[in-house]
Amino acid sequence: MAKIVILGAGLGGVGCAYEMKEKARREDEVIVINDIDYYQFVPSHPWVLVGWRTREKVTIDLVAPMKKKGITFIVDAATKLDPDTKTIHCQSGRMVEYDYLVIATGPTLAYGAIEGLGPNAHTQSVCHIDHALQANDAFEKFCKNPGPIIVGAVQGASCYGPAYETVMIIDTELKRRKIRDKVKMTFVTAEPYIGHLGLDGVGDTKGLLESEMRNRHISWITNAKVTKITAGKMYIDEMATTKKVKQKHELDMSFSMMLPPFKGINALQNLDGLVNPAGFVFVNKNQYNDKYPEIYAIGVCIAIPPMGNSLVPVGVPKTGYMIESMAMAATDNIARVLRGGEADQEATWNAICLADFGDGGVAFIAKPQIPPRNVNTAFSGKTVHLGKIAFEKVFLNRLKRGKSSSAFENIATKILKVNKIKG
């Protein structure tokens, strides 16, 4: 019998656990450790910010489906991983030993990187449901007394799509409330150009997203290094080179949502050979760590080098489709090793993203995610908005019913087929 522990039950971890249970042998135990007892559908959080979704709509209880599936579900926070003794230490004092471990803990949100950043200071966030709900309260207050808005992603962020979604969705909602004319909107991003997305663009995301911004009267600052944020102001150095400032900006703001940089969780810091200096887990193309081959990692918690063509640090995003493929590869490999085989399966690392703008949207498909690519395409329209709503419903229903995780693969295949894209 083997003990297989999945640490983290987010977008990657839940699907991974369901999949592992189906692929493991009857005698193996699958254990999930998560610091909360529910799953939050992070891609819907920008909708929570403007009040289009409630907590109940975008979260599901995990206790019942895990039990039904025969997975041991432990609600506890890991405080330290000891890879040499194969033990996870938890906040409650519990220690959980494993034969195989899949780390799927997502990011720690590094608000401390910039003075004044984050929901405990002067900007809102959509990275966690609690933050998105707090942002909704702030947004409602803002709407009673509108002023300038700044939305974007700070230097070192590795997630850009939700910043575009948030700014466009806010624009749509302000128009519905008929107060858009009272609001100056600015998009501030570390990206070298609009639509870079940490991926050096996908298809014509530059043209499509710039055009959306122009149509909505949203101005932008790229190559932005945010130096400080106070109660009503954001201080930004727009860079000309990596060292030279092109222009200093001091923008007034009454409401702001800025995506923070990510780092690895505290329990994974300073583990030589397992993690990089930021605490992201090193994995090879088969999703396991070379020093500790019984440790696999999937999702935002893994180390991926940046693309390296920007003036300020821009991280590479880890999106749902690629995370799903990492979960597939990791579980296939553990199942093979359990049966005396080789851990030789690889994730596809493709990206499909539906960036919703509330009344339309931009979809992009990158196969593989890192260029050069076999499929490199982006398109816009109302179908993207409708597609995202449908996807949310399908995805959450599948998780509730304990279905494993081919949701992204299915939607990618459908989108490619409908749009007659080969790939």
* Residue with tokens 């900006």, as numbered in its chain: 249
- What is the DSSP code string of 22-36? HHS-TT-EEEEEESS
Amino acid at 208: L
Compute the Cα dihedral for 199, 202, 207, 208 and give only its sign.
negative
**Cβ proximity to ligand FAD, 25 vs 414, nearer residue:** 414
To the nearest whole angstrom, how small is the minimum distance from the Cβ of residue 145 to ligand FAD?
A: 26
Count how many residues are written for the chain.
Answer: 423
Residue 194, amino acid: I
CB of 340 to ligand FAD, least distance (A): 29
CB of 256 to ligand FAD, least distance (A): 15
Nearer to ligand FAD, 167 or 265 (CB): 265
**Contact residues: ligand FAD, CB under 6 A:** 7-13, 33-36, 42-43, 45, 77-78, 104-106, 126-127, 159, 161-162, 265, 267, 299-301, 319-321, 323, 353
Q: How far is CA 268 from CA 37, 279, 302, in A?
A: 21, 6, 11
- Nearest distance from C-beta of residue 259 to ligand FAD, angstroms: 7
**SS3 state at 144:** helix
Please provide the DSSP assignment of 91-135 as one string.
Answer: TTS-EEE-SEEEE----EE-GGGSTT-STTTT-B--SSHHHHHHH
Nearer to ligand FAD, 7 or 101 (CB): 7
Return the number of the residue (47 or 220) whose C-beta is nearest ligand FAD: 47
The residue among 172, 222, 185, 224 whose CA lies nearest residue 201 is: 222
| Closer by beta carbon to ligand FAD, 35 or else 409 | 35
- Cite the active site residues: 159, 353
148 versus 387: smaller Cβ distance to ligand FAD: 387
C-beta nearest to ligand FAD: residue? 10
Secondary structure class of 87 (helix, strand, coil): strand
Cα–Cα distances in Å, from 10 out to 7, 59, 62, 323, 324?
9, 11, 10, 11, 11
State the minimum distance, in angstroms, from the CB of residue 163 to ligand FAD.
9
CB of 201 to ligand FAD, least distance (A): 17
**Residue with Cβ nearer ligand FAD (94 or 246):** 94
> Which among 330, 324, 373, 374 is positioned nearest to 11, based on CA atoms?
324
Q: Is the distance from CB of 177 to CB of 146 less than 8 angstroms? A: no
Would you call 184 exposed, middle or buried from its count of C-beta atoms within 10 A (0-12, 13-18, 19+)?
Answer: middle
Cβ contact 328:286 at 8 Å: no
The whole-angstrom separation of Cα 394 and Cα 92 is 35
Minimum gap (Å) between residue 167 Cβ and ligand FAD? 13
